[in-house]
Amino acid sequence: MPYFETADGTRLAYEEYGTGAPIVFVASWALSADMWEYQVPFFVDRGYRCVLLDRRGHGRSDRPSGGYDMDTRADDLAALIEHLDLREITLVGHSAGGAEVARYLARHGEERVARVAFVSAVLPFLKRTDDNPEGAPEVVCEASIAQFQSDRPSWFAQRAQGFYATHLGNDVSPALVDLTMRQCLETSPRATTEVWRSTFHADHREGLRAITVPTLIVHGAADQSAPVDMTGRRTAQLVPGGVYKEYPTGGHGLFVTHRERLNADILDLIKG
């Protein structure tokens, strides 16, 4: 597995598969590049180059004590793109990865980017403020962090079925649910806490309004991790010309439960 070094000396792992126009996949909070196992073969078989990043503290990347703020994580993504000199990119970000994609665009512009897909993204702004009454109170964020610090395995176990909305008939085996939980628990405890906190406090509204490249927003109507009224629908209202697709039986884990539809929608974005 190749690595590159960021400005603060952190070594980050990434993977590459295929050739052709590049698609950069940015993983969810607490998950790594391995989460995209149902997307990579689909796009490689259709002639695309798939690039996948393990953010700091996740997967096979270094576990530094700091750098988990939103700006540094966006700069890490920029460093990968520049390291590989990628251009005409399709950026695909899931959950907190979608937030990092949005911050990358706000900080580094669209020069290298052709199009964007926000999948179950925790956008535009999670924290409740006077001008963001749709957000959640800060006490909710800190309560989750307290649970991470007390019993992380229990926190993930309690939410595993809801992540995939199995109560709506989505066919996900117990073994696959267990795999997802194990991947989450492999993330460093500090990264788990600090990425969660910084994502909660990040306001992306101004940056979303400035996006000019073709943008796809995909969200599940039954998303328990990022409720659609707070996230997907509001994001669609902010991105100029964004295409919004809502999956009625989708939870947060659309990349598994609705992989055929999601892959097809991303392919339509690329070909569009």
Q: Which residues are catalytic?
A: 95, 223, 252
Burial class (CB in 10 A: 0-12, 13-18, 19+), 71: middle
User: How many Å apart are CA 38 and CA 22, to the nearest integer?
Assistant: 17
User: What's the length of the chain?
Assistant: 272
Q: What radius of gyration, in Å, describes the C-alpha atoms of the chain? A: 17
Please name which of 122, 137, 131 lies closest in space to residue 232, comparing C-alpha atoms.
122
Residue holding tokens 């008939």?
Answer: 169
List the beta strands (DSSP E) in the chain: 3-5, 11-17, 22-26, 49-53, 89-94, 113-119, 215-220, 243-247
Please name which of 96, 59, 79, 81 lies closest in space to residue 8, comparing C-alpha atoms.
79
Helix (H) or strand (E) holding 200: helix 189-201
User: How many Å apart are CA 88 and CA 77, to the nearest integer?
Assistant: 15
DSSP 204: -
DSSP 231: T
